[in-house]
Chains A and B, each alone.
Chain A
């Protein structure tokens, strides 16, 4: 029963080993046929795992700067677009119900954050706010510019969506739809094309992409509603001090 084929065809080898084991059960008490000891199997996999881990750490370190740089570039472009071209912008973190630019050494991962854009002569233009909710296929993530003083949306850009190509992806590719959000007053409300009245804050939903386009409206409304108090506390003193933005 200990006769083993050389490492030739795996299938034959397995069948042989198993058959041999069953026949010899009475005598050997179910001990597996001779092979390499377990420690050798374990150590082979452990060493291979360690080497693989080491290699991955090296590749990660080599590629991470490029990945982070790309992520930051995408975000900067998006903030720039939805705030109508600010001179510069800073990140504000929501800590204990207050927006602050200086987290004071606190761990900022996982904190809610918005981006405050300044125009020329340091005038605050508005805030860029990220949000995400399920659309038709998967979660749609977007960023929108918002002026807490007037309650108007300044612009909207989809960051991530897996909506149906040709239909649902019009939420980012249909420039007429994207333009509706510029200057629209919150709360927004979506209407189908034949019911459109032209009221302020009305968003004409895309035919064939009703669920996707309604999701955009909902994401913006929910985020504005969610952060309303915090946004006002942050914005009003600035607006009063520095003149209406």
Chain B
């Protein structure tokens, strides 16, 4: 098991191992409910809450849950938090809850969440598990917001319901329909992969005049 620092646990999920943009997990909500920024944000926060709650419980109960029934136990824990999120959203923001529909309940089967429990929270101390969950959750919210912003601005000419492109703009309705989700995700993944590829091609050490050498990588080896 590779040892990591708390900072790495937190930041890993946000960018370098972003659940949606790099690991390609949680694509179902990323495609289905990102037609507006408000929906994306609500979905992102609900998932964040479930991830934090599940990681906390799974990590604190790792000595109690028998290895043989761990997956059932994780699903039970995740489903409980999802149902709580579902009821709270229905009570607090009924309109957004209506727009998200069945996708709230489907957070249960988001493999990003189960993946973090099985791969990380079930083997690490509570603090680390929470850092990891927070990082992954923020990474998911970031990806959802990226999708939601592109789709709402192009598809509806607005941002969070406020018109931003003027009345002369004819919205690309396709962007808020399902095909728009695929287009947007495709282009974002393409851009992300290209950017990562460029970063990796850079030489690790840069030679300056007078023999000065500096690292060009943020994460020093």
Residues of chain A having any CB pair with chain B under 8 Å: 7-8, 10, 13, 35-36, 40-41, 44-45, 48-49, 52, 55-56, 59-60, 63-64, 66-67, 70, 74, 160, 162, 164-167
Contact pattern, B 174-189, Cβ under 8 Å of A = 1, otherwise 0: 0011000000000000
Instruction: Tell me if A45 and B69 are in contact (CB < 8 A).
Output: yes
B67 within 8 A of partner (CB): yes
Instruction: Tell me if A164 and B177 are in contact (CB < 8 A).
Output: yes
Q: List 16 A-B contacts (CB under 8 A).
A: A7-B62, A13-B67, A41-B66, A44-B66, A45-B72, A49-B76, A56-B80, A59-B83, A63-B88, A63-B90, A66-B92, A70-B90, A70-B94, A165-B155, A166-B173, A166-B177
Instruction: Tell me if B76 and A63 are in contact (CB < 8 A).
Output: no
- Name the contact of B88 in the complex, choosing from A10, A59, A165 (C-beta under 8 A): A59
What is the minimal beta-carbon distance from B191 to any residue of chain A, in angstroms?
26
Residues of chain B having any CB pair with chain A under 8 Å: 1, 35, 62, 64-70, 72-73, 76-77, 79-80, 83-84, 87-88, 90-92, 94, 98, 101, 118, 122-123, 155, 171, 173, 176-177
Kindly list chain A residues whose C-beta atoms are within 8 Å of the C-beta of B77: 48, 52
Instruction: Tell me if B87 and A67 are in contact (CB < 8 A).
Output: yes
Kindly list chain B residues whose C-beta atoms are within 8 Å of the C-beta of A164: 177
Kindly list chain A residues whose C-beta atoms are within 8 Å of the C-beta of B87: 56, 59-60, 63-64, 67
Kindly list chain B residues whose C-beta atoms are within 8 Å of the C-beta of A35: 66-68
Instruction: Tell me if B67 and A45 are in contact (CB < 8 A).
Output: no
Kindly list chain B residues whose C-beta atoms are within 8 Å of the C-beta of A56: 80, 83-84, 87
Instruction: Tell me if A8 and B123 are in contact (CB < 8 A).
Output: yes
Interchain pairs with CB closer than 8 A, number:
76
Kindly list chain B residues whose C-beta atoms are within 8 Å of the C-beta of A45: 69, 72-73, 76
- The chain A residue with its CB closest to the CB of B71 is A10
How many angstroms between the C-alpha atoms of A13 and B92 in the bound complex? Answer: 44
Instruction: Tell me if A52 and B66 are in contact (CB < 8 A).
Output: no
Instruction: Tell me if A8 and B66 are in contact (CB < 8 A).
Output: no
Instruction: Tell me if B69 and A41 are in contact (CB < 8 A).
Output: yes
Q: Lowest 5 CB-CB distances: which A-B pairs, in order?
A: A66-B91, A63-B91, A166-B173, A52-B80, A63-B87
Instruction: Tell me if B91 and A165 are in contact (CB < 8 A).
Output: no
A59 touching B123 in the complex, CB below 8 Å, given contacts A13-B67, A67-B94: no
How many angstroms between the C-alpha atoms of A66 and B79 in the bound complex? Answer: 22
Q: Main SS of the interface on chain B?
A: helix
Kindly list chain A residues whose C-beta atoms are within 8 Å of the C-beta of B35: 165
Kindly list chain A residues whose C-beta atoms are within 8 Å of the C-beta of B66: 35-36, 40-41, 44
In this complex, the member of B35, B62, B65, B79 whose beta carbon has the largest number of chain A beta carbons within 10 angstroms is B65
How many angstroms between the C-alpha atoms of A74 and B180 in the bound complex? Answer: 31
How many angstroms between the C-alpha atoms of A138 and B187 in the bound complex? Answer: 30
Kindly list chain B residues whose C-beta atoms are within 8 Å of the C-beta of A48: 73, 76-77
What is the minimal beta-carbon distance from B172 to any residue of chain A, in angstroms?
10
What is the minimal beta-carbon distance from A51 to any residue of chain B, in angstroms?
8
In this complex, the member of A40, A55, A166 whose beta carbon has the largest number of chain B beta carbons within 10 angstroms is A166
Instruction: Tell me if A8 and B84 are in contact (CB < 8 A).
Output: no
What is the minimal beta-carbon distance from A49 to any residue of chain B, in angstroms?
6
How many angstroms between the C-alpha atoms of A8 and B122 in the bound complex? Answer: 9
In this complex, the member of A35, A36, A70 whose beta carbon has the largest number of chain B beta carbons within 10 angstroms is A70
How many angstroms between the C-alpha atoms of A122 and B62 in the bound complex? Answer: 66
Kindly list chain A residues whose C-beta atoms are within 8 Å of the C-beta of B155: 165
Instruction: Tell me if B69 and A7 are in contact (CB < 8 A).
Output: no
How many angstroms between the C-alpha atoms of A164 and B155 in the bound complex? Answer: 13
Given contacts A49-B76, A52-B77, A56-B83, 5 further A-B contacts (CB under 8 A): A63-B90, A64-B87, A74-B94, A165-B176, A166-B173
